[in-house]
């Protein structure tokens, strides 16, 4: 990018350079940083609105803290682009989330300024607490600061960390970046309380009371409170909630006034113990289109900043999320006990239409996957039909709930697992690489993976009909383009579909890998089976394949370890069969960001890669069993 428009920013290759600037220059710098961020993300795509809203905070924090000696920990990390720009990655940010560019989230290996790897929300206070305790133990005298959004604060882990920090009382500053937004509007009682306070009514009363309360505060705290009040133009209110948790509460302050932020942070830096600074910001700040529609600008593809992002055309091919979305509404028409549940992912999970049409049966739990799973269990106990729409990666957070609350009690909850397999730009934190493995080992579960869109709809209907917990996992984006019909028919449970009869080799493919198996089946004259069910497996089909073929090859977009291929091997072992078998899937390593196609190629799960692997293995005709990642 031409840097002539960004003279101040150009001089900052690390935060030490920022700290050399006089404070009076900071408003100019934030203007340049915001503009640079907007133009860069407009070219690259990525998370935008959260970063725009965190520009002043980022500048003020790096200005006041001695980073990286002082620890700055971001929650979720989607707001970290300004931080990356100020910490030596200004040029690289134009390739953010590309295969050869920096990650879209903080990554420890990428920079010493990225103190904690993240992508899933609500971890920052816990991680920062650990760092602050380590520092205290070693008398290092460093400052530790966690920055968490109002969305991130809705998760149990954040509350757990506050509760613990208020007890062990380390030198820990928590900055609450409150923009009243999660990806969609933030929800929850605490959020409503904040919103009420900030809207004026109740807050006005608190202000008067707060002034009286100042008189009763202990000396040093009163002095600080008065100073803070001066600098934030009289906006001090008692944060009873946080104070009950053992935190000193300061704010709310204007999170876009960099001068005020620096002044308040400088004083907070001098203090000790757990303390929280409540900053009010606007998601998308400084770019009118994003301010007006922060949901659309949360994460964007490359776009023209003058024209804004284009609305998706009504004729675009269906994604799997669209298929789920339509099925949910159609099924809700027929089934009055059906509920649609999302842990804060209404847009991404395809629940917008359902929320509009069936508001009384729509539940957004906020970022509370554990609670969402257990609450779905409660609904199921009462004969309701809960459908939990959740990204595969985020269900990981509700795993004990899945086992203890759902599987153990055999409760009929439908898990619509979106973003299964490799997800592309979000990278290692967000891939849905593990769900076959972690779901198939649970008694009572039915585990399905569609080969195409039509089958996805059929499987969702099947999942609702099963008398127990059932999951359907589908990938980000589009499938092969097999349009679903309007029916709500089900599939026979535990039955695979033989798509092609061939000789010698049988390709047993799960979900997204069926397409590659069909192509290769034609080339090799192999039998191709769309397995459909990871659990219960079609044992008869597997036996027949083993008895009538020289070799079996399983294909899945999941870890080989404990995945669907492993399930096939276990079944064969029980049947006393030991055919030559090759497992194709994800090897024992994490996969970085990039395009989904690039990632599939990298891990050898694109058609060419699978072809190479199979030919190589068949050429060597090694003794069974063989695992190949």
Ligand X SMILES: Cc1ncc(C[n+]2csc(CCOP(=O)(O)OP(=O)(O)O)c2C)c(N)n1
Active site residues: 283, 369, 397
Q: At what angle do helices 26-44 and 258-270 cross, to 10 degrees?
A: 110
End-to-end CA gap in the chain: 40
Q: Which is nearer to ligand X, 421 or 479 (CB)?
A: 421
Are 49 and 284 in contact by the 8 Å Cβ rule? The answer is yes
By C-alpha distance, which of 494, 535, 530 is closest to 512? 530
Q: Is residue 344 involved in binding ligand X (CB under 6 A)? A: yes
Are 572 and 579 in contact by the 8 Å Cβ rule? The answer is yes
d(CA 530, CA 496): 6
Q: Is residue 529 involved in binding ligand DXP (CB under 6 A)? A: no
Q: Which is nearer to ligand X, 48 or 379 (CB)?
A: 48
Q: Which is nearer to Mg ion, 293 or 444 (CB)?
A: 293
Stretch binding ligand X (CB under 6 A), from 143-151, 334-342, 455-463, 508-516: 143-151
The Cβ of residue 570 has, within 10 Å, a number of other Cβ atoms equal to 12
- State the minimum distance, in angstroms, from the CB of residue 300 to ligand DXP: 10
Q: Which is nearer to ligand DXP, 171 or 453 (CB)?
A: 453
Phi-psi region of 308 (alpha: psi -120 to 50; beta: other; left: phi over 0): left
By C-alpha distance, which of 319, 318, 338, 316 is closest to 488? 338
d(CA 56, CA 34): 9
- State the minimum distance, in angstroms, from the CB of residue 417 to ligand DXP: 13
Which secondary-structure segment (H or E) carries 124? helix 124-137
Are 462 and 470 in contact by the 8 Å Cβ rule? The answer is yes
Among 256, 385, 440, 476, binds ligand DXP (CB under 6 A): 476
Q: Is 404 annotated as a binding residue?
A: no
DSSP state of 421: B
- Per-residue x/- marks for ligand X, 269-288, CB under 6 A? --------------x-----
Are 484 and 461 in contact by the 8 Å Cβ rule? The answer is no
Among 34, 78, 84, 361, binds ligand DXP (CB under 6 A): 78
By C-alpha distance, which of 65, 70, 68, 66 is closest to 142? 70
Q: Is residue 348 involved in binding ligand DXP (CB under 6 A)? A: yes
Output the CA torsion sign for 532, 120, 51, 589.
negative
Q: Which is nearer to ligand X, 128 or 496 (CB)?
A: 128
Q: Which is nearer to ligand DXP, 18 or 345 (CB)?
A: 345
DSSP letter string over 249-294? EEEEEETT-HHHHHHHHHHHHH--SEEEEEEE--TTTT-HHHHH-T
262 contacts: CB under 8 Å, gap ≥ 6: 23, 26, 60, 63, 64
Are 581 and 568 in contact by the 8 Å Cβ rule? The answer is yes
Q: Is residue 363 involved in binding ligand X (CB under 6 A)? A: no
Q: Is 349 annotated as a binding residue?
A: no
- State the minimum distance, in angstroms, from the CB of residue 198 to ligand X: 14
Which secondary-structure segment (H or E) carries 554? strand 551-559
Q: Which is nearer to ligand DXP, 191 or 349 (CB)?
A: 349
Binds 557, which of ligand DXP, Mg ion, ligand X, none (CB < 5 to 8 A, cut-off by type)? none
Residues that bind Mg ion (CB under 5 A): 149-151, 179, 181
**Helix, strand or coil for residue 578?**
coil
Stretch binding ligand DXP (CB under 6 A), from 15-23, 30-38, 418-426, 575-583: 418-426
- Per-residue x/- marks for ligand X, 392-411, CB under 6 A? --x--x--------------
- State the minimum distance, in angstroms, from the CB of residue 61 to ligand DXP: 20
Q: Which is nearer to ligand X, 78 or 89 (CB)?
A: 78
Among 45, 294, 299, 594, binds ligand DXP (CB under 6 A): 299
Output the CA torsion sign for 25, 59, 18, 89.
negative
290 contacts: CB under 8 Å, gap ≥ 6: 48, 49, 52, 283, 284, 296, 297
Binds 299, which of ligand X, ligand DXP, Mg ion, none (CB < 5 to 8 A, cut-off by type)? ligand DXP
Q: Is residue 182 involved in binding ligand X (CB under 6 A)? A: yes
Stretch binding ligand DXP (CB under 6 A), from 25-33, 360-368, 419-427, 620-628: 419-427
Binds 394, which of ligand X, ligand DXP, Mg ion, none (CB < 5 to 8 A, cut-off by type)? ligand X
Q: Is 371 annotated as a binding residue?
A: no
Which secondary-structure segment (H or E) carries 574? helix 564-574
Among 83, 90, 142, 419, binds ligand DXP (CB under 6 A): 419
Q: Is residue 78 involved in binding ligand X (CB under 6 A)? A: yes
Q: Is residue 475 involved in binding ligand DXP (CB under 6 A)? A: no
Q: What is the CA radius of gyration of the chain?
A: 27
Q: Is 137 annotated as a binding residue?
A: no
Q: Which residues contribute to the site for ligand X (CB under 6 A)?
A: 50, 53, 76, 78-79, 120-121, 149-152, 177, 179, 181-183, 283, 344, 367, 369, 394, 397
Q: Which positions make up the binding site?
A: 78, 119-121, 150-152, 179, 287, 369
Q: Which residues contribute to the site for ligand DXP (CB under 6 A)?
A: 76, 78, 183, 298-299, 348, 419, 423, 426, 476
Q: Which positions make up the binding site for thiamine diphosphate?
A: 78, 119-121, 151-152, 179, 287, 369
């Amino acid at each position: 990018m031409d840097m002539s428009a960004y003279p101040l920013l150009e001089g900052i290759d690390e935060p030490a350079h920022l700290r050399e600037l006089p404070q009076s220059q900071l408003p100019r710098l934030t203007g340049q940083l915001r503009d640079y961020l907007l133009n860069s993300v407009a070219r690259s795509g990525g998370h935008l609105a959260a970063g725009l809203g965190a520009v002043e905070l980022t500048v003020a924090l790096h200005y006041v803290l001695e980073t990286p000696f002082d620890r700055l920990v971001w929650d979720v990390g989607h707001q970290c682009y300004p931080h990356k720009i100020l910490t030596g990655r200004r040029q690289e940010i134009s390739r953010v989330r590309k295969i050869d560019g920096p990650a879209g989230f903080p990554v420890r290996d990428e920079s010493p300024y990225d103190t904690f790897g993240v992508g899933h929300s609500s971890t920052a206070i816990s991680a920062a607490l650990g760092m602050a305790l380590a520092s205290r133990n070693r008398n290092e005298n460093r400052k530790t600061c966690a920055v968490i959004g109002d969305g991130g604060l809705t998760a149990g882990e954040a509350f757990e960390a506050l509760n613990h920090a208020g007890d062990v009382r380390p030198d820990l500053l928590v900055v609450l970046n409150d923009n009243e937004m999660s990806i969609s509007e933030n929800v929850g009682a605490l959020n409503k309380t904040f919103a009420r306070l900030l809207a004026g009514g109740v807050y006005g009363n608190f202000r008067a009371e707060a002034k009286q309360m100042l008189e009763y505060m202990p000396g040093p705290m009163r002095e600080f409170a008065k100073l803070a009040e001066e600098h934030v133009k009289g906006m001090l209110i008692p944060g009873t909630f946080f104070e009950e948790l053992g935190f000193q509460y300061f704010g709310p302050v204007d999170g876009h006034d960099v001068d005020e932020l620096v002044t308040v942070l400088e004083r907070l830096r001098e203090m000790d113990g757990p303390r929280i600074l409540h900053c009010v910001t606007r998601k998308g700040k400084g770019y009118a289109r994003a301010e007006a529609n922060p949901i659309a600008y949360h994460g964007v593809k490359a776009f023209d900043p003058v024209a804004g992002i284009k609305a998706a055309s009504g004729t675009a091919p269906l994604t799997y999320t669209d298929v789920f979305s339509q099925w949910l509404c159609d099924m809700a028409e027929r089934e009055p006990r059906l509920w649609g549940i999302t842990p804060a992912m209404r847009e991404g999970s395809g629940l917008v239409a359902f929320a509009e049409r069936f508001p009384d049966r729509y539940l957004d739990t906020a970022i509370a996957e554990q609670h969402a799973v257990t609450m779905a269990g409660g609904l199921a106990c009462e004969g309701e039909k809960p459908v939990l729409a959740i990204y595969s990666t985020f269900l990981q957070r509700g795993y004990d709930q899945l086992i203890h609350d759902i599987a153990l009690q055999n409760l009929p909850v439908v898990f619509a697992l979106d973003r299964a397999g490799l997800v592309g730009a979000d990278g290692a934190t967000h891939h849905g690489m593990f769900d076959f493995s972690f779901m198939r080992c649970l008694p009572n579960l039915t585990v399905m993976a569609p080969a195409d869109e039509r089958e996805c709809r059929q499987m969702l209907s099947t999942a609702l009909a099963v008398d127990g917990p059932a999951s359907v996992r589908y990938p980000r984006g589009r499938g092969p383009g097999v349009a679903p019909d309007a029916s709500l028919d089900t599939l026979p449970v535990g039955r695979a579909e033989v798509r092609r009869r061939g000789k010698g080799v049988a390709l047993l493919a799960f979900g997204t890998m069926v397409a590659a198996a069909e192509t290769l089946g034609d080339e090799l004259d192999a039998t191709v089976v769309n397995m459909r069910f990871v659990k219960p497996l079609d044992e008869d089909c597997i036996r027949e394949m083993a008895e009538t073929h020289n070799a079996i090859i399983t294909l899945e977009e999941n870890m080989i370890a404990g995945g669907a291929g492993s399930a096939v091997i276990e079944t064969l072992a029980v049947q006393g069969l030991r055919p030559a078998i090759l497992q194709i899937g994800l090897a024992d390593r994490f996969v970085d960001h990039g395009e989904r196609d690039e990632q599939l190629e990298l891990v050898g799960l694109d058609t060419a890669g699978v072809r190479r692997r199979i030919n190589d293995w068949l050429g060597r005709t090694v003794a069974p069993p063989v695992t190949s990642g």
